């Protein structure tokens, strides 16, 4: 087994074993608390620029397949796990996790104390790091980690967004047929792609919407040409304050079309309404975050993946609809007078939890009523 080293900007380092591609990679190191769904995590565009640490101990035991992907390729900069399963077993699996990372040229490290690593991130906040299978001097790697660009200074949306307009017709998964294709008519929802997850598109389609996906640039021209019934702002990576065109887009159309946002889309809407965002200490990444719906008091367990949040005290003319019960951060709001609704978490989560998927139906009904 080939040695690999993970070095952090604070001077600490971890020695383990290489898996996936060999070489060197860098990024902001964050941890994810989900027990399953590593393939969806790997292919989530919101993780662009980051090295992901899985807190669950054994990863890779069910392999990978071509269906459970959230984008066309692996998006993470690197992958860190405690134990790499020596075998994989699942009726849908096509190859191993290690083979998958090799194919996608992603560097991984396993066999390190991930509990100690996660504790360090919780105490100090997200840290810049380097994984290397070629440099054996950890001191040199620590220096490299210190020079990794801050994620707030990178235009990561440009790296993951689509370049073309396309229509999406794929709905939920059927055990016999696979993903079911649906020919919906109205409402027509335009999804602005800042790094959209495919399961968002599937949920919109499954609930009855016709879905068209557009690049995040020159959206106004596409709106005038396609004439959608509503706008949907997707998730995506990086600092929302860098998505200036998205903020302008919301301000121009917020009195003309219903608008919904998830994750980065939620933050863009908040900024457009005059709110301010801030970076969380170590972000929310996982599938077990309790969120309270303030409208009726019920609790939902949600999947989350974000580094930034909106300061609710800076928002005006909105009703706060959801809060995170772990740290009381803002998780959702509605505009008091306009058809604008957004959530910070991921109601479309695949493989789950699915407590919040009804949010898509709410938005589609709102959009259909105005089409």
Looking at the domain covering 157-370, what would its CATH class be?
A: alpha beta
User: Structural domain boundaries of the chain?
Assistant: 3-149, 157-370
Query: According to CATH, what is the number of the domain 3-149?
Result: 3.50.30.20
Confidence bin at 177 (pLDDT 50/70/90): confident
Query: Distance between CA atoms of 264 and 342, rounded to whole angstroms?
Result: 10
Portion of the chain with pLDDT greater than 90, in percent: 94
pLDDT at residue 371 greater than cutoff 60: no
pLDDT at residue 176 greater than cutoff 90: no
Confidence bin at 370 (pLDDT 50/70/90): low
- Which run of H or of E encompasses 368? helix 358-370
| pLDDT number for residue 367 | 84
The question of whether 342 is a catalytic residue gets the answer no
Given 266, 284, 289, 346, which residue is catalytic?
A: 346
> Would you say 107 and 25 are in contact if contact means Cβ atoms under 8 Å apart?
yes
Mean pLDDT of all residues belonging to the chain: 96
Q: Single out the residue of 283, 255, 259 nearest to residue 269, CA to CA.
A: 259
The question of whether 346 is a catalytic residue gets the answer yes
The question of whether 348 is a catalytic residue gets the answer yes
Q: In DSSP terms, which residues pair with 170 in a beta bridge?
A: 181
Given 40, 263, 285, 342, which residue is catalytic?
A: 263
∠ CA 106-112-115, nearest 5°, is 110
pLDDT digits (tens, 9 = 90+) for 87-140: 999 999 999 999 999 999 999 999 999 999 999 999 999 999 999 999 999 999
């Amino acid at each position: 087994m080939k040695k690999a080293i993970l070095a952090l900007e604070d001077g600490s380092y971890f020695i383990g074993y290489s898996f996936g591609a060999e070489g060197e990679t860098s990024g902001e190191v964050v941890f994810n608390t989900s027990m399953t769904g590593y393939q969806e995590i790997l292919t989530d565009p919101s993780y662009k620029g980051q090295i992901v640490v899985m807190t669950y101990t054994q990863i890779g035991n069910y392999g990978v397949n071509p269906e459970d992907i959230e984008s066309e390729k692996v998006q993470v900069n690197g992958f860190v796990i405690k134990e790499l399963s020596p075998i994989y077993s699942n009726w849908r699996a096509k190859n191993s996790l290690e083979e998958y990372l090799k194919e996608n040229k992603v560097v991984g490290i396993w066999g390190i104390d991930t509990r100690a690593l996660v504790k360090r991130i919780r105490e100090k906040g997200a840290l810049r790091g380097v994984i290397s299978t070629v440099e054996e001097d950890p001191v040199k790697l620590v220096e490299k980690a210190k020079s990794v660009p801050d994620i707030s200074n990178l235009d990561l949306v440009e790296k993951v967004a689509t370049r073309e307009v396309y229509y999406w017709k794929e709905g939920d998964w059927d055990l016999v047929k696979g993903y079911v294709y649906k020919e919906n008519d109205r409402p027509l929802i335009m999804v602005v792609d800042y790094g959209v997850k495919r399961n968002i598109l599937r949920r919109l389609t499954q609930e009855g919407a016709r879905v068209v996906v557009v690049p995040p640039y020159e959206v106004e021209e596409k709106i005038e040409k396609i004439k959608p019934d509503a706008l949907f702002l997707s998730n995506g990576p990086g600092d929302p304050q860098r998505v200036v065109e998205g903020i302008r887009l919301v301000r121009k159309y917020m009195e003309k079309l219903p608008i919904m946002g998830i994750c980065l889309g939620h933050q863009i809407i908040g900024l457009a309404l005059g709110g301010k965002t801030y970076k969380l200490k170590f972000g929310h990444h996982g599938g077990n975050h309790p969120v309270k719906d303030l409208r009726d008091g019920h609790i939902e367990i949600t999947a989350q993946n974000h580094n930034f949040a909106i300061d609710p005290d800076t928002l005006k003319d909105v009703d706060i609809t959801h809060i995170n019960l772990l740290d009381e951060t803002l998780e959702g709001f509605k505009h008091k007078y306009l058809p604008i609704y957004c959530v910070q978490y991921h109601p479309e989560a695949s493989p789950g939890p699915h407590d919040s998927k009804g949010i898509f139906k709410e938005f589609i009904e709102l959009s259909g009523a105005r089409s």
